[in-house]
């Protein structure tokens, strides 16, 4: 056939069929001109003098093709940010959409902690990753944060912890002290936490260990919290509050805690409070997991199961109290049980605000727990009992509604800025149900008697504050070199919140101690004249 061989004829026919397919009106696949995103899988990396560091990153879509050969003509990958002390040495593809960038330190003298980003750039189109920090370390120099006297918590995560809803896998280990045992490396998951506090530069975190584990001698559990205490110049408002709570034994449980240094992905983040998370557990809120419940009164009103009860006094809700269910979990609780809880709270409130309430309400609430709960808020000058925020109650099976546990004592605590009335009197006398409880002479008598009973123990908090001041001084110096608590004004109409944010650490703690001592005297005077 005109000189064609059989093999050439087959090739010719295949070519004709291919041309026909291309011309049948179907669009050719669109090849993207740039990736949708670049994600660096580390918040920070450490690099020694003259050494190298590996930075894993991913590209989306995973099948996007580009020139990642550093030094070759047309390479699309580079570093951006405050580079100069280090540079991009190589990039290696490790899987579909997965790469590793190798950084090289230039060997100059001096330490640094500089931001960088991975940049794709071609034909005027660029895509940047989120910033990560490159930290120069010297193996011969002992980091300052290991010499503050506090335990050091090391968190290493597989990616950025940038959400309160999404867990990020990682590991945790703890260097202990002579008095406090450390923790060998174990797997964990980490996510953000908090409402206002999550929006501040120094982030708080929730940790879920791979198994129930004791930390610093505290009972074993999976769930722990690292409170940042960003706005607290004293670093001890939550610490002191939990110490006060531990002295009030009519509270079933008060979270135990320990100040630590946090190092996250190689970067020292400052002083944190490692504290037991509020959870239902035999060693925490000890109620039946199926037949008990735990509630939070929270003005943020951003929970999945929540409602307003019209009985009581609440500053933000026109005398309606915002309740939410914290246990059972929303994905396991039944609609009938939700209604049962709501009905019970209505019964309690109706008993409180009924005629002859003095005889009615003790059948519904654990009065002693409500007395101790009020004392804790009042002595610490915490106005959020009347807001309310982070105000907890729980009930075991068919028992009494019990106040507690304590939580979140950093905003306005032991400060006259947010509660100027604390200088001369009580601030939570009219908070939520206490507005009604204090109308009962028997309740007032209980409060007075309990106050006189616990006052000697509460006075020991003054030397406790002095002890913690000495323990935290070195840590505070490092912490406030990184963080400025006066930035809390951004969330408060450009007014600092606690009033000590611009003070020295020493002056702030002295002020805290003075206000605490004044509160003891003011409360004693107010109760005696009630």
pLDDT digits (tens, 9 = 90+) for 22-59: 444 555 555 578 899 999 998 888 888 889 999 999 99
Q: For 200-209, what is the mean pLDDT?
A: 96
Work out whether strand 125-128 and strand 391-395 pair parallel, antiparallel, or are unpaired. unpaired
Are residues 324 and 250 both part of a single domain? no
pLDDT score, position 30: 58
Residue that terminates a domain, selected from 104, 137, 170: 137
The pLDDT confidence band at residue 17, using thresholds 50, 70 and 90, is very low
Question: Does residue 85 surpass a pLDDT of 60?
Answer: yes
Residues 427 and 421 sit within 8 Å (Cβ to Cβ): yes
Are residues 386 and 454 both part of a single domain? yes
Are residues 119 and 159 both part of a single domain? no
For the domain that residue 133 is a member of, what is the CATH number?
2.60.40.3450
Question: Does residue 1 surpass a pLDDT of 60?
Answer: no
The pLDDT confidence band at residue 210, using thresholds 50, 70 and 90, is very high
Are residues 116 and 159 both part of a single domain? no
**Backbone φ and ψ of 402, nearest 5°:** -115, 140
Instruction: Identify whether 322 is part of a domain.
Output: yes
Are residues 418 and 395 both part of a single domain? yes
Are residues 118 and 152 both part of a single domain? no
Q: For 453-478, what is the mean pLDDT?
A: 98
Instruction: Identify whether 452 is part of a domain.
Output: yes
Tokens of 206: 């929730």
Q: For 479-486, what is the mean pLDDT?
A: 96
Strands (E), 277-427: 293-297, 306-309, 321-327, 391-395, 402-403
Instruction: Identify whether 7 is part of a domain.
Output: no
Are residues 132 and 148 both part of a single domain? no
Residue that terminates a domain, selected from 121, 137, 153: 137
Residues 98 and 60 sit within 8 Å (Cβ to Cβ): no
| Separation CA 407–CA 255 (nearest Å) | 8
Question: Does residue 12 surpass a pLDDT of 60?
Answer: no
Residue that terminates a domain, selected from 119, 137, 155: 137
Structural domain of 298: 293-528
Are residues 341 and 480 both part of a single domain? yes
Question: Does residue 20 surpass a pLDDT of 50?
Answer: no
Tokens of 452: 């006189």
Question: Does residue 301 surpass a pLDDT of 90?
Answer: no
Instruction: Identify whether 281 is part of a domain.
Output: no
Tokens of 241: 């509050």
Question: Does residue 508 surpass a pLDDT of 80?
Answer: yes
pLDDT score, position 113: 80
**Backbone φ and ψ of 363, nearest 5°:** -80, -5
Are residues 56 and 187 both part of a single domain? no
Number of structural domains in the chain:
3
Strands (E), 371-521: 391-395, 402-403
Are residues 129 and 169 both part of a single domain? no
């Amino acid at each position: 056939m005109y000189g064609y061989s059989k093999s050439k004829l087959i090739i010719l026919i295949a070519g004709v069929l291919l041309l026909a397919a291309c011309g049948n009106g179907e669009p050719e696949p669109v090849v993207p001109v740039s990736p949708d995103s670049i994600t660096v899988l580390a918040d920070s990396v450490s690099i020694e003098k003259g050494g190298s560091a590996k930075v894993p990153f991913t590209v989306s879509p995973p099948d996007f093709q580009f020139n990642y050969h550093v030094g070759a003509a047309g390479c699309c990958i580079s570093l951006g940010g405050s580079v100069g002390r280090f540079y991009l040495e190589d990039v290696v593809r490790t899987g579909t959409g997965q790469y590793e960038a190798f950084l090289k330190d230039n060997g100059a003298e001096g330490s640094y902690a500089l931001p960088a980003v991975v940049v794709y750039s071609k034909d005027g189109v660029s895509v940047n990753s989120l910033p990560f920090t490159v930290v120069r370390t010297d193996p011969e120099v002992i980091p300052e944060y290991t010499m503050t006297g506090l335990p050091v918590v090391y968190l290493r995560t597989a990616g950025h912890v940038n959400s309160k809803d999404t867990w990020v896998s990682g590991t945790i280990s703890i260097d202990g002290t002579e008095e406090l045992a450390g923790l060998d490396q174990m797997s964990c998951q980490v996510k953000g936490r908090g409402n206002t506090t999550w929006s501040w530069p120094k982030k708080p975190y929730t940790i879920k260990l791979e198994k129930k584990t004791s930390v610093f001698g505290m009972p074993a559990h999976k769930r722990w919290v690292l409170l940042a205490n960003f706005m607290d110049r004293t670093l001890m408002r939550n610490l002191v509050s939990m110490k006060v709570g531990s002295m009030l034994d009519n509270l079933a449980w008060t979270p135990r805690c320990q100040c630590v240094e946090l190092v996250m992905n190689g970067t020292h983040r400052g002083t944190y409070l490692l504290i037991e998370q509020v959870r239902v557990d035999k060693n925490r809120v000890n109620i039946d997991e199926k037949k008990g419940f735990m509630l939070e009164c929270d003005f943020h009103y951003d929970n999945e199961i929540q409602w307003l009860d019209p009985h009581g006094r609440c500053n933000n809700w026109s005398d309606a109290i915002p309740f939410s269910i914290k246990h059972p979990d929303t994905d396991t609780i039944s609609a009938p049980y939700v209604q049962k809880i709501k009905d019970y709270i209505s019964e309690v409130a109706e008993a409180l605000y009924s005629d002859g309430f003095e005889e009615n309400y003790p059948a519904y609430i654990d009065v002693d727990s409500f007395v101790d709960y009020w004392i804790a808020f009042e002595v610490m000058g915490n106005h959020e009992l009347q807001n309310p925020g982070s105000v907890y109650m729980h009930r075991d099976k068919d028992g009494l509604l019990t106040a507690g546990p304590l939580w979140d004592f950093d905003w306005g605590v032991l400060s006259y800025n947010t509660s100027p009335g604390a200088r001369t009197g009580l601030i939570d006398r009219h908070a939520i149900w206490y507005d009604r409880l204090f109308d009962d002479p028997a309740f007032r008598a209980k409060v007075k008697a309990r106050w006189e009973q616990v006052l000697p123990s509460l006075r020991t908090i003054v030397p406790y504050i002095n002890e913690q001041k000495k323990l935290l001084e070195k840590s505070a110096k490092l912490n406030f070199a990184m963080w400025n608590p006066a930035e809390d004004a951004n969330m408060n109409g450009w007014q600092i919140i606690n009033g000590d944010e611009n003070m020295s650490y020493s002056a702030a703690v002295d002020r805290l101690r003075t206000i605490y001592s004044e509160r003891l005297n003011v409360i004693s005077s107010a109760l005696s004249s009630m």
